[in-house]
Amino acid sequence: ELKVEQNPLFLSMQEGKNYTIYCNYSTTSDRLYWYRQDPGKSLESLFVLLSNGAVKQEGRLMASLDTKARLSTLHITAAVHDLSATYFCAVDMDSNYQLIWGAGTKLIIKP
Amino acid sequence: EPEVTQTPSHQVTQMGQEVILRCVPISNHLYFYWYRQILGQKVEFLVSFYNNEISEKSEIFDDQFSVERPDGSNFTLKIRSTKLEDSAMYFCASSERTVFGDEQFFGPGTRLTVL
């Protein structure tokens, strides 16, 4: 059974700081997705990571994938308040494209 | 920009009643999904649908649930006899599923409240 674990589950940080969210998964997969969810809102696709060593950046967010370590990271650089949200990673079951989701990391960035 | 739409945004029903949640996927997408999210918890996969049939379903998707694409644009989730524990946010998603992966685009959700 594929399990996806995120940590931390909750993160409160100051604007301007850097931090990393980790996403570990339990079986082989080379497709991983990061989504953002604002309170009471839907899920917004941030990054699609498709191979070992993939790195993608958008603004202050950078995501990477290490399929050998079964680990993805979402790095936040010089955080700003607008990045406050819950971030989910989701891993693609190779055989059937079923997304298995992490529990989410609730990120609060204080001015 | 094309988007997934869902109706209603909020549905309140009595336990034991049937509900139908509606979704209009992005028009050129061929793969459709339903997920649910109990308040404050993780997103849970319910079912995927392709070529007018279910591709995969989770353990949550029992006989109380069914999906249908009745008219080529709508994609519906029916819960036959709702239980209190069915109260959640239900998200529809659609994707193209290319060699570049399966980036799924989500609708705004339907909040289902079972009383």
Digit-coded pLDDT (tens) for A22-55? 999 998 777 899 999 998 899 999 999 988 888 9
Q: What pLDDT is attached to residue A107? A: 96
Residue B115 has pLDDT above 60, yes or no: yes
Nearest to B68 by CA among B7, B23, B115, B10: B23
**Average pLDDT of the residues in A5-10:** 96
Within an 8 Å CB–CB cutoff, is residue B40 touching chain A? no
Model confidence pLDDT, tens digit, residues B42-52: 899 999 999 88
Residue B100 has pLDDT above 80, yes or no: no
Q: What pLDDT is attached to residue A89? A: 96
Chain B nearest CA to A99, separation (Å): 7
CB contact under 8 A, A96 and B48: yes
Residue type, B9: S
The nearest alpha carbon in chain A to B111 belongs to A40
Hey, of B1, B106, B113, which one would you mutate to test binding to chain A, going by the most A CBs within 10 A of its CB? B106
Distance of alpha carbon A15 from alpha carbon A33, whole angstroms: 25
Model confidence pLDDT, tens digit, residues B73-97: 899 999 999 999 999 999 999 998 7
Model confidence pLDDT, tens digit, residues A50-100: 888 889 999 999 999 998 999 999 999 999 999 999 999 999 876 566 788
> What one-character-per-residue DSSP string does A10-72 give?
EEEEETT--EEEEEEESS--S-EEEEEE-TTS-EEEEEEE-STT-EEEETTEEEEEETTTTEE
Residue A109 has pLDDT above 70, yes or no: yes
CB contact under 8 A, A33 and B103: yes
Q: What pLDDT is attached to residue A29? A: 75
Q: What pLDDT is attached to residue A19? A: 94
Mean pLDDT over all residues of chain A?
Answer: 91
**Average pLDDT of the residues in B88-109:** 89
Model confidence pLDDT, tens digit, residues A57-70: 999 999 999 989 99
Question: Which of B12-26, B38-52, B95-109 has the lowest average pLDDT?
Answer: B95-109
SS3 B84: helix
Q: What pLDDT is attached to residue A31? A: 86
For residue B70, whether the previous peptide bond is cis, meaning omega lies within 30 degrees of 0, is no
CA distances from A83 to A43, A62, A77, B4, B108 (A): 14, 13, 10, 24, 19
Q: Cβ contacts (< 8 Å) between B100 and chain A: which residues?
A: 48, 50
Chain B nearest CA to A111, separation (Å): 24
Within an 8 Å CB–CB cutoff, is residue B41 touching chain A? yes
The two structure tokens encoding residue A31: 């497709």
Q: What pLDDT is attached to residue B43? A: 92
